[in-house]
A = this chain, B = another copy of it.
Amino acid sequence: MKLIHSIIKPDATVISGRMGREVERAKIAVMEALKNKQVVVISSGDAGVYGMAGVVLEVAAVENAEVPIGIIPGVTAATVAASKLGAPLVNDFAVISLSDLLTPWGQIEKRLEAAAEADFVIVLYNPQSPGRTEPLTKAHQILLRYRNPETPVGIARLAGRDGEKIAITTLKGMVDAEIDMVTTVIVGNSKTRVVNNRMVTPRGYDLAQA
């Protein structure tokens, strides 16, 4: 928030939204745009990854609002976290949000099972909040059914921001990690290993050439 204030024009109107009021926020933005104002809706990370981009497009359609909408891609938590941990995402990966506020748990569970079984590297968004710890516990149990307990797991809290904390643990050990809503968890695939304290998923190159 502080960062945003430092780059916006002093005469801009700032409307702050709240978690859980995304539809209302999108509607305010669309209504302001209909008054021929230039409106910017800010999401942290990439607005297109679990962000506001979709709901703004949907609300504009519901309101029959013919306003031009541009979407600016950003650097999403998965890739920031990956860069801080090493190179865990240089092979196929699946991105799954553990928040069951908007997605039924059965669907999340099915995706966890599928991604674990097909040996995707798995990136967990919204892993845990003070009032919602069960999804991560269940996800951990599912992952342990398919992956070695020693599989490297990266824990990136506030990756790329003030207060950043980066740790590499194992699937077995991740129960002891500090994980909250500003943490991204990256679970390695069967080939991911730790090289010089960095988490690396091999791409398949023959290193004997080196």
User: Counting CB contacts under 8 A, is A117 at the interface?
Assistant: yes
Number of identical monomers bound together in the oligomeric complex:
2
CB-nearest residue of chain B to A198 = B57
Chain A interface, number of residues (Cβ within 8 angstroms): 74
Given A97-B92, A102-B204, do A210 and B27 touch, yes or no (CB 8 Å)?
yes
Interface residues as binary, A90-113 with B (CB distance below 8 Å gives 1, 0 otherwise): 111111110001110001101101
Q: Are B203 and A79 in contact (CB under 8 A)?
A: no
Q: Which residues from chain B contact A195 at a C-beta distance below 8 Å?
A: 57-58, 61
Q: When the two chains form the complex, which single residue of B56, B59, B69, B114 contacts A117, counting CB atoms closer than 8 Å?
A: B114
**Is A83 on the interface with B (CB-CB < 8 A)?**
yes
| Contact yes or no, A90 B49, CB < 8 A | yes
- In the complex, residue of chain B having the shortest beta-carbon distance to the beta carbon of A122: B94
Q: Is B79 in contact with A73, judged by CB distance below 8 angstroms?
A: yes
Q: Tell me, in angstroms, the Cα distance from A50 to B115 when the chains sit together.
A: 18
Residue of B nearest to A195 (CB): B61
Q: Which residues of B contact A84 (CB under 8 A)?
A: 71
Please tell me if the beta carbons of A50 and B91 are within 8 angstroms of each other in the complex.
yes
Contact of A118 among B47, B74, B114 (CB under 8 A): B114
- Contact check, A82 vs B87: say whether CB atoms are below 8 A apart: no
B residues less than 8 Å from A79 (CB atoms): 46, 48-49, 73-74, 76
Our pick among B24, B60, B75, B200 for the contact of A54 (Cβ within 8 Å) is B200
Contact yes or no, A59 B90, CB < 8 A: no
Tell me, in angstroms, the Cα distance from A195 to B66 when the chains sit together. Answer: 12
For A82, give its contact among B73, B111, B205, B206 (CB under 8 Å).
B73
| 21 A-B pairs (CB sep. < 8 Å) | A23-B205, A23-B210, A24-B210, A48-B89, A51-B90, A54-B200, A54-B201, A55-B207, A57-B198, A58-B205, A59-B207, A71-B84, A92-B94, A92-B95, A93-B94, A94-B115, A102-B203, A110-B118, A111-B120, A113-B118, A114-B120
